[in-house]
Structure 1
Amino acid sequence: MTTPVDSSAVVDLLGALAYAELTAFDRLAEDARLAPTLTGRAALARMAAAEIGHHCRLVERLEELGADPSQAMAPFVPALDAFHESTRPSTWLEGLVKAYVGDGLATDFYREIAAFLPDPDRALVLEVLDDTGYADFAVREVRAAIRADRKVPGRLSLWGRRLVGEAMSQSQAVIAEHDGLAGLIIAGTGDLSGVAKLIERITGAHTRRMKALGLNP
């Protein structure tokens, strides 16, 4: 049975996710211009459209809760912008890995927290985190590049490890600055050992994603 959740924590989570979806749209639209083929460009454009759709759903829910969406997103802008600025991809392949690995780690984090929410917010978070088809697309593209150039795995493996380090650092900073989110995680996991297990699950999922791409975690 789901325990009662502080409404301010729900607004914090939806605000963070709404801004994450907005930035995902921006980045996918930008990365689409790096695509070496029109097929790749069109695929990313479709995924960007899905992300802005998710953003709109979250904004609607924030309004239903009586929150100002802009104010709900604002506290998360510095941390998310800092992460994206420090991990700006320079190539098409780096962009694919960033979206698959970096965003995948964030998705796992939000999905874990969603388990602590009551419906309809739990269902909404899980809905907007649903894969838009990017995972299979990224795996195909990266694996094809690896087959074509044996230097690719080493470079992208280093990039993937940098991404997860930056993502974990920024996530910890966001939680530390928002008592509602921290309280939600502690209450949901039960204690610090529960938090440790949550982090272990997220790290394990990251390792599986790197291996799926053909990269060393």
Structure 2
Amino acid sequence: MTTPDNASAEPAPVASQDWAAASRNPQYRAAVVDLLGALAYGELAAFERLAEDAKLAPSLADKAELAKMASAEFHHFERLRDRLSSIGAVPGEAMEPFVSALDGFHRQTAPSDWLEGLVKAYVGDSIASDFYREVATRLDSDTRDLVLGVLDDTGHASFAVEKVRAAIEADSRVGGRLALWARRLMGEALSQSQRVVADRDALSTMLVGGLADGFDLAEVGKMFSRITEAHTKRMAALGLAA
């Protein structure tokens, strides 16, 4: 008796499926709800933080620029919230597991001035974006498009680089202080990312194998190495030592 060809066929990689197909796996669906919940709360927190940072801005032009960026972050949040609703999840419930960790990160890394706020947004947000982009490569096509879309640069990167480099040129002592600050942010951001993943079973399973095709513990280590390398390049763009 011959075995039909499709009986032994390997399941299609998640990354080649759309949401309708991939979400038939309840564990994958749970992982995506977690991922979108974490990302949605991150965008909401970014909106709040940028609005607060605008109060420290030294000029009206800087204040207006941050307000525009805050508006873009809130638009990203709305897209994620609407997506969670459309797939049958309750946005508030999806975000709630990540509130404590993200709020804790922001409490521990509260900037003391305008420049620290710029570096935090540039370094902290970029690390988070790198992490989510790494994960996105293993998601279904619909979810991947959404995640990459909300990670679009709001203009904060070039704005932060311009302002920080100008401040260092005006006073070289500023560079040493901001370099120490950025190193602290890097450590806290990576620790926070690892805690978030470890606390959510479906999300961690997706990262270390079983749901996201090809990921294993060794690959997760390589992922964090790539994130660290990208951080070093951003520090150089700021004119700071990593």
Amino acid at match of 1:186: V
Q: For residues 195 and 159 of structure 1, what CA distance do their matches in structure 2 show?
A: 26
Of residues 221, 230, 237, the one that matches 1:205 is: 230
Match of 2:196 in 1: 174
CA distance in 2, matches of 1:104, 1:134: 10
Offset, 1:2: 3.4
Instruction: Answer yes or no: is 1:2 the counterpart of 2:24.
Output: no
AA matched with 1:90: S
Residues 31-63 of structure 1: CA deviation (Å, up to 9, x unaligned): 011000111111100000000000000000000
Stretches of 4+ aligned residues off by more than 4 angstroms:
none
SS of alignment partner, residue 121 of structure 1? helix
Distance 1:100 1:54 in 2: 17
CA distance in 1, matches of 2:29, 2:193: 21
Q: How many angstroms does 1:190 deviate by?
A: 2.8
State yes or no: 1:38 paired with 2:60.
Answer: yes
Q: CA offset at residue 71 of structure 1? A: 0.2
Separation (CA, whole Å) in 1 of partners of 2:38 and 2:130: 14
Partner of 2:4: none
Q: Distance in 1 between matches of 2:186 and 2:51?
A: 22
AA aligned to 1:122 is R
> Whose Rg is larger?
2
TM superposition shift of 1:184: 1.1
1:26/1:48 contact within 8 Å kept: yes
Residue of structure 1 in register with 2:90 after alignment: 68
Q: Deviations over 1:56-115 (max 9, x none)?
A: 000000001100000000000000000000000010000000000011101100111111
Matched AA of 1:51: E
Q: How far 1:169 moved relative to its partner?
A: 1.1
| Offset of residue 171 of structure 1 | 1.1
Q: Distance in 2 between matches of 1:195 and 1:210?
A: 23
Letter in 2 for 1:192: L
For residues 214 and 75 of structure 1, the distance between their equivalents in structure 2, rounded to whole angstroms, comes to 37
- Which residue does the alignment assign to 1:20? 42
Q: Distance in 2 between matches of 1:2 and 1:143?
A: 44
- Across the aligned residues of Structure 1 and Structure 2, the Cα RMSD in angstroms comes to 1.0
AA at the equivalent of 1:15? G
CA-CA distance at 1:170 after TM superposition: 1.1
Residue 135 of structure 1 deviates from its aligned partner by: 0.6
For 2:154, what is the secondary structure of its paired residue? coil
Conservation of the 8 A alpha-carbon contact between 1:2 and 1:117: no
Report SS of the residue matched to 1:116. Answer: coil
* Residue matched to 1:94: 116
Do 1:16 and 1:76's aligned partners in 2 also have CA atoms closer than 8 Å?
yes
Tell me the CA shift for residue 139 of structure 1: 0.3
Alpha-carbon distance in 1 for matches of 2:221, 2:100: 26
In the alignment, does 2:156 pair up with 1:134?
A: yes
**In structure 2, what is the equivalent of residue 193 of structure 1?**
218
Please give the alpha-carbon distance, in whole angstroms, between the structure 2 residues aligned to 1:179 and 1:211: 36
The percent identity for this pair of structures is: 60
Matched, 1:81 2:115: no
Gaps of at least 5 residues in structure 1 are none
* Helix, strand or coil at the partner of 2:141: coil
